[in-house]
Structure 1
Amino acid sequence: MTEFRGAWDEDDVEAFLQEATIPIRLATHRPDGSLWPVALWYRYRDGALECATGANAAVVRFLRREPAVGFDISTNDVPYRGIRGTGTAEIAPDEDKAILRALIERYLGDTDSPLATRLLDDDREEVRVRIEPREIYSWDYSKRMGREAGEKTV
């Protein structure tokens, strides 16, 4: 069960995660114990964060060894708002690249770009990274910073 703290309740967090098309910043541990941050596209579904990446990516090796993660999904423009938290990652095959295809459509709008074509190539093996949040802390500086300081919110 996820613990929610901060500026938003669970419904507000879910609304933000559904609306925001900014990458998740994921931190995991390398075998030497040092931290390894990576940015991935995500979608929020059934209380979890789902990402896709190449099966041979370093982050996949690291998560298989140590599934505990930290994460941040936050805006880069004023007014700053977002979430951060901790959780556990699970790796599984991305059958038929279903997660990847959904993420491409979410972030790029369709699968017609050269990037989408390269990512969806039959020779590329994809995995799903499913993050079960343990705790989520939210913040929203909209009132403090004023929306007029920057109309973009996501």
Structure 2
Amino acid sequence: MLRDTIKAAQIESMKAGDKARLAAVRLILAKLKDKDIELRTAANVPDDDVVVTDVLQKMAKQRRESITLYEQGGRQELAEIEKAELAVIETFLPQQMGEDEVKAAIAAIITETGAEGMKDMGKVVGALKAKHGTQIDMGKASQLVKSALA
């Protein structure tokens, strides 16, 4: 399980004295704890790896946005910290699909669902997230779906 891998990485980082990696892993574990608390009242709880992957993807997206903003603002030292955290987060994420693979998956789902235009975008994005949600950046994928249906 992914959560066990993250906890093992925390122990490895402590033993190795890698403070930067340890801080990033602790951030991940804190976010996971927050998500667990949030899901206590949920009617149906998704599989643990799905929850962990979702949290990691959101954290990675936040780091990418922060890096862009820091670089635009001329705060390179803060951008470097975010890049280091992003590198740690990405080590736990499943392998992401390439753009060509995403386009092929979108084409297959459009054919599968019989989607014909923009009115079917929600159906296509939902099916794409259900099948490949852990392997695709859904922000980029929605743009590709939009262009495929236009």
Category of TM-score, reference length = shorter chain: under 0.3
Which structure shows the higher strand fraction? 1
Which structure shows the higher helix fraction? 2
The structure with the larger Rg is 2
